[in-house]
Chain A
Amino acid sequence: MNKVKSIIRLLNYYTCMVGMLFLLPLMLLTTSDVLMRALFGKPIPGTFELSEYILSVSILLGAAYTQQLRGHVGVDFVLKRLGFKTQALSEAITGILCMIITGLLSWQGLLRALEESTVSDMLRIPQAPFRFLVFVAGMGLFLEFLLQVIESISRLLGGNK
């Protein structure tokens, strides 16, 4: 089990790292566009749509690792006041609900990507691969919540704090 857990966590970490690599190009692209427009009156064609695609890559690839760091915020002050077992049970239930919604998100992401045939206005870049990342994000999140549920249940059954 620990090995599967490590693999999922590492996978989400490296996926996020790929998304992270696009942040500096996003900054450089927009800045270059502004400079080209200001200095030569010639903006970089397609900056708008490239920025959108870059943002989708960074955010969708980073979503699961953000959850690994518990970065998707929640209200935990009630939970903290509950007993140890109730806390574990609550986490397991909310984790299952999160698995349901991210599972649906992932499934729909895949279907919508397969149906998608749109290309961007200027550079004619197909949208489908970027839409496919909704599936990747949903799946990564699903696996993170699955790990959370397994951990909560094992805490509930094992009773180790």
Chain B
Amino acid sequence: MSPVLVGVLGCLLLLLLLFWGMPIAFVMMLVGFLGISYLSSIETALPMLADNLYGGVAHYPYTIIPLFVLMGTFATSAGITTELYNTFEKWLRRLPGGLGIATISACAGFAAVSGSSVAAAAAMGQVALPQMRRFGYDPKLATGVVAAGGTLSFLIPPSLGFVIFGMLTEQSIGKLLIAGVVPGFVLSLSYAMIVYIRVKLNPKLAPIVPGKVPLKEKFLALKGIWETLLVFLIVMGGIYGGFINPTEAGAVGAFCLFVIVLLKGRLTKKAMIDGLFDTIRISCMVIFLVAGANMFSYFLALSTIPSKVSLWIAGLGVSKYLVLTIILAIYLVLGAFLDAVSMMVLTLPVVFPIILSLNFDPVWFGVIAVLMMEAGLITPPVGLNVYTLAGIARDVPMGEIFKGTLPFLFAIFITVLAITLLPDLATYLPKMMVR
């Protein structure tokens, strides 16, 4: 059998086992191991299993994963979601869909100190959802806002999405994180515009909240955002200024939030243990996925599929934007069934060489890929954020929440289009970085 045929059979086996419910990390390890055994030798493949995993778990740049997750854990314990929401609610409540816009703003704020979108959706679901429901917001709109707002954590740094993209493609994680700042702001703005326009067109969706907030109270409420601002400036400012690397930024950010939680006296033993267990669970899941992906990528490289596909696509002579559109369409379909991290580890070994062969900027593509993964968090039938929210808003059927998130998918596509037409939105800041 030719290496390419072995590679194709390997991919088919991978898909079969994947849809059969086998955990993705172990599917990739198994198929990678079988493929390497066939194309090279079993003597090569066997030690590689252990070496590849050890190489993944004892790799300094990967320490960023538990540290970023810890940031989210401490940010949640510190009650940052509630404080952000209360601040934005006071400033924005009188706007059409004001509570929805406040929720999105608070989600964007929380995203600036946390990398987990599910944590954001869960935390904001507890805080903002009851408020929106109390003031008569349409359940579809209210749940859609929270589910979509939660996705911002995947894009706005510190973001696990960029970390994993950087790990899989060997791009600078620091540059990727900085590249997410402006697109994160653009997407937050697009989400807010969607709420505003929808409510302007149909005011029944979100009645105006009664009662004006005095200006003094508004300014006093601003104290609710200082922690977020401080941590974001230390972490992202440190990376941008070249004072600290992204891993150190994760540690310093987590430490700052840890101190804030301690000072506020909000660190209970239970919250601490639960948070640490969650951190281990997420980190294990991600690092095992990446270790599996590395094994599978090695097999794919032996099969020569990535280089052959790249050459074939380059030889077609079609516009590179057509290829990009096809890749994005594939991501949209896959996003309906796979979670964001899995989608990245499964596709990047083949997709990334194509992107490089078409001379796209890798950091720019990182932003586009992360945006598409975000879409996957709210597309039916499998949308992790929607699942999370369905557990909180038990009286709203899951189908209704999915319907509520649809307009926000549109905002993601608009942002992708904007960044494709104006790549500087993503690449200007990384180019200006000190190192």
- Asked if A56 and B57 sit within 8 Å, CB to CB, the answer is yes
- Asked if A112 and B21 sit within 8 Å, CB to CB, the answer is no
Question: Which chain B residues border A38 with CB–CB below 8 Å?
Answer: 243
Residues 48-69 of B, flagged 1 when their CB comes within 8 A of A and 0 if not, give 0111011001111011001100
Q: Pick out which of these stretches binds chain A: B179-187, B277-285, B423-431.
A: B277-285
Which of these, A28, A76, A97, contacts B17 with CB under 8 Å?
A97
- Asked if A78 and B21 sit within 8 Å, CB to CB, the answer is yes
B8 CB within 8 Å of chain A: no
| Shortest distance from the beta carbon of A97 to any chain B beta carbon, whole Å | 6
Which of these, B22, B254, B281, contacts A69 with CB under 8 Å?
B281
Task: Give residues 30-83 of B contacting A (CB, 8 Å).
Answer: 30, 33, 46-47, 49-51, 53-54, 57-60, 62-63, 66-67, 70
- Which interface class (under 10, 10 to 19, 20 to 34, 35 or more) fits B? 35 or more
Task: Give residues 62-107 of A contacting B (CB, 8 Å).
Answer: 62-63, 65-67, 69, 71-79, 90-91, 93-94, 97-98, 100-102, 104-105
- Asked if A97 and B284 sit within 8 Å, CB to CB, the answer is no
Residues 378-406 of B, flagged 1 when their CB comes within 8 A of A and 0 if not, give 00011000000000000000000000000
Question: Which chain B residues border A24 with CB–CB below 8 Å?
Answer: 276
- Asked if B22 and A56 sit within 8 Å, CB to CB, the answer is no
A20 CB within 8 Å of chain B: yes
Closest to A64 in B: B284
A31 CB within 8 Å of chain B: yes
Which of these, B17, B62, B254, contacts A55 with CB under 8 Å?
B62
Q: Bound state CA distance, A154 and B59, in angstroms?
A: 41
Closest to B259 in A: A31
Closest to B256 in A: A31
The A interface is mostly helix, strand or loop, or mixed, namely helix
Quick one: given A26-B251, A72-B25, are A112 and B244 in contact (CB under 8 Å)?
Answer: no
| Shortest distance from the beta carbon of A73 to any chain B beta carbon, whole Å | 6
Q: Bound state CA distance, A67 and B284, in angstroms?
A: 9
Question: Which chain B residues border A108 with CB–CB below 8 Å?
Answer: 46-47, 49-50
Which of these, A51, A60, A101, contacts B26 with CB under 8 Å?
A101
Task: Give residues 30-45 of A contacting B (CB, 8 Å).
Answer: 30-31, 33-34, 38
Quick one: given A31-B255, A73-B341, A75-B338, are A102 and B50 in contact (CB under 8 Å)?
Answer: no
Given contacts A78-B21, A101-B26, 6 further A-B contacts (CB under 8 A): A26-B251, A58-B280, A59-B280, A66-B281, A74-B22, A100-B30
A-B pairs with beta carbons under 8 Å apart, 15 shown:
A27-B251, A33-B248, A38-B243, A52-B58, A56-B54, A63-B284, A67-B23, A71-B282, A72-B24, A75-B337, A90-B20, A97-B22, A98-B30, A101-B30, A109-B53
Interface residues of A (CB under 8 A from B): 16, 19-20, 23-24, 26-31, 33-34, 38, 48, 51-56, 58-60, 62-63, 65-67, 69, 71-79, 90-91, 93-94, 97-98, 100-102, 104-105, 108-109, 111-112, 130-131, 134, 137-138
